[in-house]
C-alpha cells in the first residue's frame, strides 16, 4: 500500500501540503480533488519520484510498477502503434534481450525469453494497442502515422493510450478526459472499471469520478481529507458537515433558492417525460448537496441579456464543412430564446464544425444562415485561450471590450471568477491553463450574450468552477448550445439533444443513458454487419409481434403517467392563482386576516398535493423505465 505520513510540500514561500497524511490500499480507485493550485499534480510528482517532500515520508512498495499519463505533448517520429506499445516497458525490455540472444545464437536464453513474452501476453501486444487506439477514437488508418503528425489533443490521447498499455500496479491519471469526446470517455470509464491495479485519478468530471472511483481524497487547508464513496457521496458528507456551520447558513439558503427557482422554471417546460424525470432527480440531488459548495471561490452569473430576437439564429437546408468536403448535410435548425441544446456524436462526426458554423467562424457550403436582429453571441472554444494577450491583465482584457467601465466594476466582476487583488491586474503570461480558461469564460460572460455556444467549456476547469458554471448556466435566460464530455453539465443545463452522426444532425429522443445504450447498439450492429438481409426479413413478423406485446405491457403505465400529468397541470394553475391572490398588498391589512389565513392554508394544501403528485409521477416513470429495460 501507499503511505503518506506527515508530508509537507512547499512551492517557493507557499505550502501546498503541511503535515498531511493518507493511506491508499492495493486495488483502490481514488479520486484526488481540490482547487487548482492546491498540490494535486505536485503529489503525483512526489509519487513518481520527480519531487521530494520538504518533510515527512512517502512509501510505495518497491516491486510496484507505476504507469502515468504524460502531460507533455508527444514528440516522436515513431508511428502511433509503436509509440503506444512503448508504454509496455517490460515488453520492450524482453524484445531487446531477444534481439541480443538471436545475434549471439543463445537459443537457451531465447527459449526462456519467449516464455516470458507469452506470460505477459506480449504476442498480443499489437492487438491490445490497436484496441486502445480504437477505444480512444483513432481510426485504423492512423496506426502507421507518426506521433508528430497528430494535433496536440490527439498526441495527449497517445500519451493516455501509452499509459494504459503499460503493465502496472499503480496508474496515475491527471485529467485524462480533457481531450476526449463523450464516446471515448465512456469507453475509458469501462476500461478503468476493469483495471485490476490501484488508480489515483485527478479529474474535474464528476460523473466520470462517480463511475470509476470508490474513494475521495480532498486537498483542503493543506491537508489530505479522506472520504469513502464516490464524488456524490463526498458532496453529501461534506454538505452535512458544512450545513451545520451557522456562519455559512445564509449563503447556503441563497444557493438553494437559486436552484429551487430553476427547478420551478424547468418543470413549467417539462414536456418529455423521460428527460424530465432524469432532470428532476438530478436537480433534487443538487439541492441536497448545495451546502458542499458554499465555500467555493467562484460566484458569478450571466447578466440579463438585452433585447431578444425570435429566432435568434436559423439554419435552413445547410451543408456544413470545409472546402469541398461536406461534414454535416441538410441541417435545419432554429434557435429560440430559452433553447437548451446538447450536441452528441463521435469525435470527427461534425459537432465542432456545427458550433463553428453557428458562430459564423466558417461559412456554410450551401443553404441559408439567418441571424436575428438582436443576436448577441457568446462563443467559447479552446482556441480562445490561445488568442488571449499574455502581456495583458484580466482587467485589461475586459477594459478593451468596455473602455467606459469603471475599474471597481471590473474588479468586482473578476472576483466572481476568483481573480482577486493583484491577480486581476497582473499579466496572464504565467497563469495556469485553468486560470486562462476561467478568464476566457469571464470574457464571454462580460459581453452579456443572449446565445451561448460552448465547445468543451469545462476543459482545464476544476470541480468547483465546473459546479459554478453549471449553476450559472441554469439561471441563464438566453439560449445555450453545448458540446461537452461532461455528463453532469449536460444533464443539468440542456433539455434536448441533437445527434450528429452519419453526416446528419437529428433530434435525439432520449437522455444520456439512452445515448450510452445507443452507442452499445451501434457497436453490436457494427460487429454483426455481415448478417444477411434474409435473416432480417425473416424476423419482421416476430419483431412486430414483440412490439405489440411490449405496448400491451407499457400502456397501463403510460396512461397513468398521462393522467397524473394532467392533474399536475391543474394543480400548478391552482397554485399560481393562490400565489397571485397572495400578491395583493390589501390582503395583509387587519380586516382581511381571515381571508389571508384561508389562502395560506389553501397554499399549503395545494403545495402538498403537488409534491405527492410529483412523487407519484417519478415512481411511475421509474416503473416504466425499469420495464422498458427488461423488455
Q: Domain-by-domain residue ranges, the chain?
A: 2-233, 253-293, 313-522, 560-630
The average pLDDT across 49-66 equals: 85
pLDDT value, residue 246: 46
In SS3 terms, 343-373 reads as: EECCCCCCHHHHHHHHCCCCCCCEEEEEECC
**Pairwise pLDDT comparison (188 vs 38), residue with the higher score:** 188
pLDDT band at 538 (very low <50, low <70, confident <90, very high): very low
Residue 215's pLDDT is 92
- Of residues 70 and 160, more confidently modeled: 160
Q: What is the pLDDT of residues 169-202, one digit of tens each?
A: 899 998 898 888 888 888 999 999 999 999 999 9
- Dist. CA 564–CA 547, nearest whole Å: 25
Return the CATH number of the domain spanning residue range 313-522.
3.40.50.300
**Cell reading at 326:** 461536406
Three-state SS string over 119-184 comes to: HCCHHHHHHHHHHHHHHCCCCHHHCCCEHHHCCHHHHHHHHHHHHHHCCCCEEEEECCCCCCCHHH
The helix/strand/coil state of 80 is helix
- C-alpha closest to that of 244 among 292, 202, 210: 292
CB atoms within 10 A of CB 524: 10
pLDDT tens-digit profile of 237-275?
887 776 655 445 555 566 556 556 655 655 555 444 455
Residue range 510-533: mean pLDDT, rounded: 69
For residue 288, CA distances in Å to 169, 259, 291, 344 come to: 37, 10, 8, 29
Q: Which of 233, 184, 178, 167 is nearest to 30 (CA)?
A: 233
- CA distance readout (Å), 57 to 21, 63, 483, 587: 9, 18, 43, 70
Q: Are 283 and 259 in contact (CB under 8 A)?
A: yes
Answer with the residue of higher pLDDT: 516 or 170. Answer: 170
pTM for the complete prediction?
0.58
Domain 2-233 and domain 313-522, same fold? Reply is: yes
- CA distance linking residue 551 with residue 548, whole number of Å: 5
Question: What is the homologous superfamily of the domain 2-233 according to CATH?
Answer: P-loop containing nucleotide triphosphate hydrolases (3.40.50.300)
Q: How would DSSP label each residue in 418-477?
A: T--GGGGTS-STT--HHHHHHHHHHHHHHT--SEEEEESTTTT--HHHHHHHHHHHHH--
> What's the mean per-residue pLDDT of the chain?
80
Largest CA distance in the chain: 110
pLDDT tens by residue, 323-375: 888 899 999 999 988 888 999 988 778 888 899 999 888 889 999 999 888 88
- Average pLDDT (572-589) is 77
Model pLDDT, residue 569: 78
**Cell (9 digits) for 582:** 397572495
What lies within 8 Å, CB to CB, of 605 at 6+ separation is: none
Going by C-beta distance under 8 Å and a sequence separation of 6 or more, which residues neighbour residue 179? Answer: 153, 154, 156, 157, 459
Amino acid at each position: 500500500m501507499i503511505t503518506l505520513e506527515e508530508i509537507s510540500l512547499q512551492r517557493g514561500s507557499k505550502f501546498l501540503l503541511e503535515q498531511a497524511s493518507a493511506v491508499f490500499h492495493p486495488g483502490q480507485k481514488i479520486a484526488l480533488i481540490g482547487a487548482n493550485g492546491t498540490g494535486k499534480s505536485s503529489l503525483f510528482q512526489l509519487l513518481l519520484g520527480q519531487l521530494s517532500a520538504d518533510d515527512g515520508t512517502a512509501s510505495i512498495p518497491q516491486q510496484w510498477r507505476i504507469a502515468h499519463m504524460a502531460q507533455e505533448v508527444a514528440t516522436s517520429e515513431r508511428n502511433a502503434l509503436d509509440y503506444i506499445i512503448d508504454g509496455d516497458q517490460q515488453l520492450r525490455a524482453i524484445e531487446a534481450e531477444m534481439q541480443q540472444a538471436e545475434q549471439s545464437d543463445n537459443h537457451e536464453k531465447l527459449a526462456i525469453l519467449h516464455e516470458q513474452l507469452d506470460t505477459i501476453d506480449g504476442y498480443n501486444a499489437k492487438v491490445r494497442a490497436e484496441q486502445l487506439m480504437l477505444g480512444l477514437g483513432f481510426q485504423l488508418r492512423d496506426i502507421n502515422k507518426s506521433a508528430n503528425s497528430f494535433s496536440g489533443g490527439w498526441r495527449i490521447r497517445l500519451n493516455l493510450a501509452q499509459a494504459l498499455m503499460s503493465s502496472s500496479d499503480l496508474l496515475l491519471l491527471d485529467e485524462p478526459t480533457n481531450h476526449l469526446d463523450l464516446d471515448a470517455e465512456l469507453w475509458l470509464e469501462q476500461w478503468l472499471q476493469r483495471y485490476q491495479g490501484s488508480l489515483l485519478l485527478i479529474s474535474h468530471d464528476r460523473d466520470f469520478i462517480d463511475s470509476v472511483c470508490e474513494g475521495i481524497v480532498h486537498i483542503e487547508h493543506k491537508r489530505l481529507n479522506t472520504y469513502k464513496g464516490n464524488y456524490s457521496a463526498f458532496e453529501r458528507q461534506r454538505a452535512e458537515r458544512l450545513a451545520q456551520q451557522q456562519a455559512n447558513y445564509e449563503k447556503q439558503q441563497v444557493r438553494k433558492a437559486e436552484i429551487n427557482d430553476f427547478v420551478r422554471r424547468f418543470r413549467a417546460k417539462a414536456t418529455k417525460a423521460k428527460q424530465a424525470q432524469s432532470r428532476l432527480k438530478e436537480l433534487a440531488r443538487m439541492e441536497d448537496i448545495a451546502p458542499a459548495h458554499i465555500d467555493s471561490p467562484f460566484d458569478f452569473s450571466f447578466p440579463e441579456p438585452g433585447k431578444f430576437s425570435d429566432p435568434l439564429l436559423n439554419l435552413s437546408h445547410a451543408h456544413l464543412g470545409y472546402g469541398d468536403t461536406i461534414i454535416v448535410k441538410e441541417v435545419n435548425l432554429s434557435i429560440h430564446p430559452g433553447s437548451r441544446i446538447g450536441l452528441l456524436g463521435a469525435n470527427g462526426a461534425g459537432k465542432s464544425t456545427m458550433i463553428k458554423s453557428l458562430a459564423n467562424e466558417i461559412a456554410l457550403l450551401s443553404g441559408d444562415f439567418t441571424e436575428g436582429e438582436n443576436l448577441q453571441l457568446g462563443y467559447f472554444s479552446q482556441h480562445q485561450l490561445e488568442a488571449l494577450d499574455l502581456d495583458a491583465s484580466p482587467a485589461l482584457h475586459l477594459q478593451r471590450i468596455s473602455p467606459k467601465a469603471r475599474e471597481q466594476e471590473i474588479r468586482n466582476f473578476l472576483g466572481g471568477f476568483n481573480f482577486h487583488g493583484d491577480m486581476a491586474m497582473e499579466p496572464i503570461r504565467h497563469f495556469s491553463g485553468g486560470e486562462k480558461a476561467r478568464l476566457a469564460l469571464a470574457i464571454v460572460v462580460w459581453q452579456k450574450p443572449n446565445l451561448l455556444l460552448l465547445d468543451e467549456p469545462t476543459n482545464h476547469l476544476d470541480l468547483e468552477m465546473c459546479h459554478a458554471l453549471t449553476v450559472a448556466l441554469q439561471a441563464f435566460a438566453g439560449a445555450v448550445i453545448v458540446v461537452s464530455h461532461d455528463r453532469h453539465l449536460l444533464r443539468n443545463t440542456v433539455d434536448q439533444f441533437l445527434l450528429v452522426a452519419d453526416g446528419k444532425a437529428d433530434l435525439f429522443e432520449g437522455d444520456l443513458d439512452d445515448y450510452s445504450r445507443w452507442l452499445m447498439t451501434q457497436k453490436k450492429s457494427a460487429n454483426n454487419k455481415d448478417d444477411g438481409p434474409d435473416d432480417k426479413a425473416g424476423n419482421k413478423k416476430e419483431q412486430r409481434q414483440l412490439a405489440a406485446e411490449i405496448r400491451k405491457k407499457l400502456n397501463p403505465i403510460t396512461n397513468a403517467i398521462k393522467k397524473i400529468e394532467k392533474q399536475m397541470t391543474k394543480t400548478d394553475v391552482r397554485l399560481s392563482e393562490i400565489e397571485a391572490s397572495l400578491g395583493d398588498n390589501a390582503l395583509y391589512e387587519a380586516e382581511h386576516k381571515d381571508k389571508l389565513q384561508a389562502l395560506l392554508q389553501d397554499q399549503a394544501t395545494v403545495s402538498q398535493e403537488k409534491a405527492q403528485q410529483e412523487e407519484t409521477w417519478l415512481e411511475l416513470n421509474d416503473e416504466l423505465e425499469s420495464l422498458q429495460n427488461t423488455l
